[in-house]
Amino acid sequence: MSVADRVVNFGAGPSALPLTVLEEAQKGLINFNGTGIGIAEISHRSKEFQAFLTEFEQNLRTQLEVPSTHRILFTQGGGTTQFSAVVLNMIARHRLLHPNATAENTVLDYVVTGSWSKKAAEEARRLTAGVATVRTAVDARVYAKDGKAFDNIPPHAEFAFSPAPAVIYYCENETVDGVEFAHDAGAPASFPFARLPAAPLLPLVADYSSSFMCRPIPRLADHAVIYAGAQKNIGPAGLTILIVREDCVVDVDAAARLGAPPPVQHPAVLPIYVAGLVVRRMGEQGGIPYYEALNRRKSQKLYAAIHEGEQNGVFRRKKRFLEGAEAEGMKGLKGHRSVGGIRVSLYNAVTEEDVDKIIAYMNSFMQK
Ligand SMILES: Cc1ncc(COP(=O)(O)O)c(C=O)c1O
């Protein structure tokens, strides 16, 4: 098997990674930065790995314009892990701020616009039974064309936030349903920042798993926590990156003295390494503005081809479409198991040439 045998991976996560990064990682796996030790074997406390981590953090900070009020954390696990971890940490913060809070006045506001935020709200309900009250600030299904699908971002006026919640939660891009908040602040489908309670240090939490590092994060500084599983745009699964405002960083040692479990000691060194290489390369190529423009071009082209196919009704022949694509070296196109269909994921490492390739295939499929 050689590099030439690689296919185009349109998978939704784990997703494609840049070949140059994989080649560099291959070397690091044997000998990381001249240490004579492979990256999967080296101590996370070694000065070489610490230097790599510092550079990675700095690259993220620069490219995403993370202010000094926020820390960047590299945790184990995935997005789903954060459905629980964020709740536990934010409830702990709320209890420290309001020691006499009751379950009734410890309120968690969830914006439900798709399968992932629905799942996150369910997890919050499970975890906080008897401790807090989980509210739905808006449920997009109420505004769906058929009254049940996640197919829209509701109008701003429909978002109802509590006056002083412990968490305000939303998912920026609902990967399964294909629904995302608009990035243009004036757009009707943007996140309704103006409707949030007018208090400082809002407990605003955002799941950015499928849109992290592909465009700027609107109002980043107004968030308490932003998190993203790495396995879409920037690295292997097993790593989740968090951007956390200082006041939401729990003192884990103090918490451990009060009986909380000790923190995870070993960061996911190998995924951090690969993700760090990806983000370094992103910076060399022009950072977020470069990828934002590239991703826009990729998606405009693809949507144009989809609309043409839709008019002809040809993409309903899913099995034939997928088999033909695979025969031409394109994989990862099957829709999420919960919704079916076909899904073409255009994460950062999918090139414009890759998109041209699938469009050419779509066109030939339509003609046949
Ligand atoms: C927006 C979003 N949140 C959360 C998840 C779950 O992440 P994980 O599979 O890392 O637990 C996904 C996975 O696809 C996702 O797209």
Burial label for 225, CB within 10 Å (0-12, 13-18, 19+), is buried
268 and 320 inside one domain: no
Ligand 1 centre distance from Cα of residue 338 (Å): 14
Ligand 1 centre distance from Cα of residue 138 (Å): 21
Q: What is the pLDDT of residues 147-161, one digit of tens each?
A: 999 999 999 999 999
Give CA torsion, residues 162, 157, 173, 217, to 10 deg. Answer: -80
| Distance (Å, whole) CA 198 – CA 184 | 22
What residue has token string 């950072």?
Answer: 287
236 lines ligand 1 (CB under 6 A): no
Stretches in the chain below the pLDDT threshold 70: 1, 252, 254-256, 258-265
Helix (H) or strand (E) holding 71: strand 70-76
300 and 223 inside one domain: no
Cα-flanking dihedrals φ and ψ of residue 197, to 5°? -55, 145
Whether residue 357 lies inside any domain: the answer is yes
| Distance (Å, whole) CA 168 – CA 160 | 11
Whether residue 17 lies inside any domain: the answer is no
298 and 237 inside one domain: no
240 and 122 inside one domain: yes
Question: Can you read off the two tokens belonging to residue 53?
Answer: 């981590």
Whether residue 35 lies inside any domain: the answer is no
CB 124 within 8 A of CB 83: yes
In this structure, which residue's CA is closest to atom 10 in ligand 1? 78
Which amino acid, residue 257? R
Last residue of a domain, one of 262, 283, 304: 283
Strand 133-139 vs strand 179-180: parallel, antiparallel, or unpaired?
Answer: unpaired
169 and 212 inside one domain: yes
194 and 142 inside one domain: yes
Ligand 1 centre distance from Cα of residue 353 (Å): 27
For ligand 1, mutation pick of 110, 176, 210 (most atoms within 8 Å of CB): 210
For ligand 1, mutation pick of 175, 177, 225 (most atoms within 8 Å of CB): 175
DSSP state of 36: S
78 lines ligand 1 (CB under 6 A): yes
Ligand 1 centre distance from Cα of residue 322 (Å): 24
CB 239 within 8 A of CB 73: no
Minimal CA–CA distance to 366: which of 299, 307, 303, 326? 307
pLDDT of res. 67:
98
305 and 251 inside one domain: no
pLDDT of res. 252:
67
pLDDT of res. 3:
87
Handedness of CA 295, 69, 78, 51 (dihedral sign): positive
Kindly give the number of the ligand 1 atom that is closest to the alpha carbon of 174: 1
CATH number at residue 176: 3.40.640.10
276 and 340 inside one domain: no
CB 79 within 8 A of CB 229: yes
pLDDT of res. 313:
73
CB 38 within 8 A of CB 28: yes
Ligand 1 centre distance from Cα of residue 78 (Å): 7
Question: Can you read off the two tokens belonging to residue 99?
Answer: 């020691």
Ligand 1 centre distance from Cα of residue 79 (Å): 5
80 lines ligand 1 (CB under 6 A): yes
For ligand 1, mutation pick of 80, 172, 232, 241 (most atoms within 8 Å of CB): 80
240 and 345 inside one domain: no
The total domain count for the chain is 2
Whether residue 58 lies inside any domain: the answer is yes
108 and 217 inside one domain: yes
| Distance (Å, whole) CA 8 – CA 147 | 37
CATH number at residue 330: 3.90.1150.10
pLDDT of res. 339:
85
pTM of the model: 0.95
277 and 342 inside one domain: no
Q: What is the pLDDT of residues 304-344, one digit of tens each?
A: 999 988 887 777 789 999 999 999 999 999 988 888 889 99
Cα-flanking dihedrals φ and ψ of residue 8, to 5°? -80, 125
Last residue of a domain, one of 283, 314, 334: 283
Question: Can you read off the two tokens belonging to residue 210?
Answer: 């499928």
pLDDT of res. 21:
98
For 107, the 3-state DSSP assignment is: strand
Whether residue 19 lies inside any domain: the answer is no
pLDDT of res. 266:
86
172 lines ligand 1 (CB under 6 A): no
Q: Which residues constitute the domain of residue 325?
A: 287-367
210 lines ligand 1 (CB under 6 A): yes
Question: Can you read off the two tokens belonging to residue 313?
Answer: 């009704």
228 lines ligand 1 (CB under 6 A): no
